């Protein structure tokens, strides 16, 4: 999954940082292509907080 896709969907780097309880700087340092660990952390946080995300993200993996 591409970092830009995640940021665009949630609206800003700060929104993603807030979702994860981390800093703007931490999210900004992510690589362009996210690891499965980071991607699943984002999806998990959105799920836990009841924030919808595209259903095509379900089951997505960079290994595929």
- The reply to whether 15 falls in a domain is yes
**Token couple for 54:** 């595209």
Cβ 54 vs Cβ 29: under 8 Å? no
Q: Per the structure, how many domains does the chain have? A: 1
We report the CATH number of the domain holding residue 36 as 1.10.260.40
- The reply to whether 13 falls in a domain is yes
pLDDT along the chain (64 residues), means of 10: 96 98 98 95 95 84 52
CA 42 to chain centre: 4
User: What's this model's pTM, rounded to 2 decimal places?
Assistant: 0.86
**Token couple for 45:** 């946080």
At residue 61, the pLDDT reads 61
Closest-CA residue to 52 (of 17, 19, 3, 4): 19
CA 50 to chain centre: 14
- For residue 16, the enclosing domain spans 3-57
- The reply to whether 44 falls in a domain is yes
At residue 64, the pLDDT reads 42
At residue 60, the pLDDT reads 65
């Amino acid at each position: 999954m591409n970092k830009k896709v995640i940021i665009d969907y949630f609206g800003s780097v700060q929104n993603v940082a807030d979702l994860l309880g981390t800093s703007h700087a931490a999210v900004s340092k992510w690589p362009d292509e996210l690891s499965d660990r980071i991607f699943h952390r984002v999806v998990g946080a959105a799920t836990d907080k009841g924030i919808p995300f595209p259903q095509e993200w379900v089951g997505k993996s960079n290994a595929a």
